[in-house]
A and B are shown apart, each in its own frame.
Chain A
Amino acid sequence: QKEVEQNSGPLSVPEGAIASLNCTYSDRGSQSFFWYRQYSGKSPELIMSIYSNGDKEDGRFTAQLNKASQYVSLLIRDSQPSDSATYLCAAQTGKLIFGQGTTLQVKP
């Protein structure tokens, strides 16, 4: 079992909808969690970090963390075609471990 699991998708949503991306992790000692966005052929870039239970909002993005359920999610409101990318979830226990990524397609 991978330490960080994501549904590889693709997840397809219409423009303007809410995209919901999910991630589970196996190590209860994980303290910090990150969402990176990666466009095709490019390197990953950080979009959100979350360290405590609850929600964290940044513009159209909301990260949610539930340590009891070992679950992290990313909501993208008012999805735009420019949000089409692969979203990588990462959990830190000492070193940083990534999930396999979820491909999001936003259709105009």
Chain B
Amino acid sequence: NAGVTQTPKFQVLKTGQSMTLQCAQDMNHNSMYWYRQDPGMGLRLIYYSASEGTTDKGEVPNGYNVSRLNKREFSLRLESAAPSQTSVYFCASSVSGVSGANVLTFGAGSRLTVL
């Protein structure tokens, strides 16, 4: 059982380039999330999807877009990368809806550097 799988694990971009982080879960979870983690800032929610077909903004959505492709997959796109988006990105999923008690399962993380 793979759990939550994120790709790529590492990526270096130049300012202005675009890229998509992919996330897939095989636990039949309803909800999926994208967080970023910067030193001293903890985890900050970028976007989340309570169920297939819905997405909502989190704490820091600017500069990002998401797609909930199906129940398993939730992608995060940077249209024009900026150095401020250098971070570690975590995808997570949970069985409950957003209003329920969430226990998150996290992917291994994707380290993105924007030069």
Contact = CB atoms under 8 A, between A and B. Distances in A.
A interface residue count range (under 10 / 10 to 19 / 20 to 34 / 35 or more): 20 to 34
B48 to A, nearest CB: 6
Consensus secondary structure, chain A interface: strand
Contact of A94 (B33, B44, B98, B106): B98
A97 B98 contact: no
A88 B42 contact: yes
B44 A92 contact: no
B106 A92 contact: no
B108 A8 contact: no
Given A43-B90, A43-B108, A95 B42 contact: no
Interface stretch (A13-21, A44-52, A62-70): A44-52
Task: Using C-beta atoms within 8 Å of the partner chain, give the interface range for chain B.
Answer: 20 to 34
A25 interface: no
8 contacts: A32-B101, A43-B109, A44-B104, A45-B106, A90-B43, A95-B45, A96-B104, A98-B43
Given A32-B101, A95-B48, A96-B33, A101 B58 contact: no
Contact of A32 (B41, B42, B48, B102): B102
Interface of A: 4, 6, 8, 31-32, 34, 36, 42-46, 49, 51, 88, 90, 92, 94-101
B107 A96 contact: no
A98 B40 CA distance: 12
Contact of B40 (A34, A42, A94, A100): A100
B42 A34 contact: no
B106 A44 contact: yes
B101 A51 contact: yes
B101 A92 contact: yes
